[in-house]
Amino acid sequence: MTAAERQALIARYGEGVRQFEEALATVPAEAMQWRPGPNKWSAHEVAVHCADSETNGAIRIRFLVGESNPTLLGYDQDAWTRTFDYHAYPLDVARAQVQAVRRYTHEMIRRLPESAWSREGTHTEVGRYTAEDWLRIYAEHLEVHARQIRRNVDAWRAAR
């Protein structure tokens, strides 16, 4: 990855919250906990997932850069949705978590030296995992879920 490509991904990472919030703003209150199908997440569940995932991601990049060959833990996101009863979790708290963690981590990654991006560890689900791998994944994470939220709204409208 070139320095310019990396800077573009860092900027994209910083913009993710805006897209996430814009998508959530399109969800009618009565559609927030509507699921588009069996084993599919509601917009509310997507938002709480993002809070958990962004928190995990913030820790992962810190371990990658700050530790020598760390082991990064994967987790079963569907099990977390059920175990932690995401629908019972306050949406405003989840949104605040996404915003705070994203902003905090964006400030950190903007300042990393070039050498930090070659750091690596081992992810329990995918094996070798570098700081650049992390950036590729998390630069688009909230964008992916913003699109998912919009698809949920479209499906909810179509089902009415």
How does pLDDT run across 56-87, given as a tens digit for each residue? Answer: 999 999 999 999 999 999 999 999 999 999 99
Instruction: State how far Cα 120 lies from the chain centre.
Output: 20
pLDDT score of 12: 96
pLDDT score of 5: 95
Residue range 15-24: average pLDDT?
97
pLDDT score of 141: 96
Q: For Cα atoms 148, 2, 111, give the angle at the middle one, nearest 5 degrees.
A: 80
- pLDDT surpasses 90 at 126: yes
- pLDDT surpasses 90 at 160: no
Is 116 within 8 Å of 67 (Cβ atoms)?
Answer: no
Q: Which fold has domain 3-159?
A: Four Helix Bundle (Hemerythrin (Met), subunit A) (1.20.120)
Buried (b) or exposed (e) across 35-69, using 16+ Cβ within 10 A?
bbeeeebbbbbbbbbbbbbbebbbebbebbbeeee
Q: Which residue has the higher pLDDT, 1 or 46?
A: 46
24-60 pLDDT tens trace: 999 999 999 999 999 999 999 999 999 999 999 999 9
Residue range 90-101: average pLDDT?
97
Residue range 14-32: average pLDDT?
97
**Pick from 87, 77, 85: nearest CA to 32:** 87
Longest alpha-carbon distance in the chain: 53
Between the alpha carbon of residue 36 and those of residues 15, 105, 124, 155, the distances in Å are: 27, 32, 31, 6
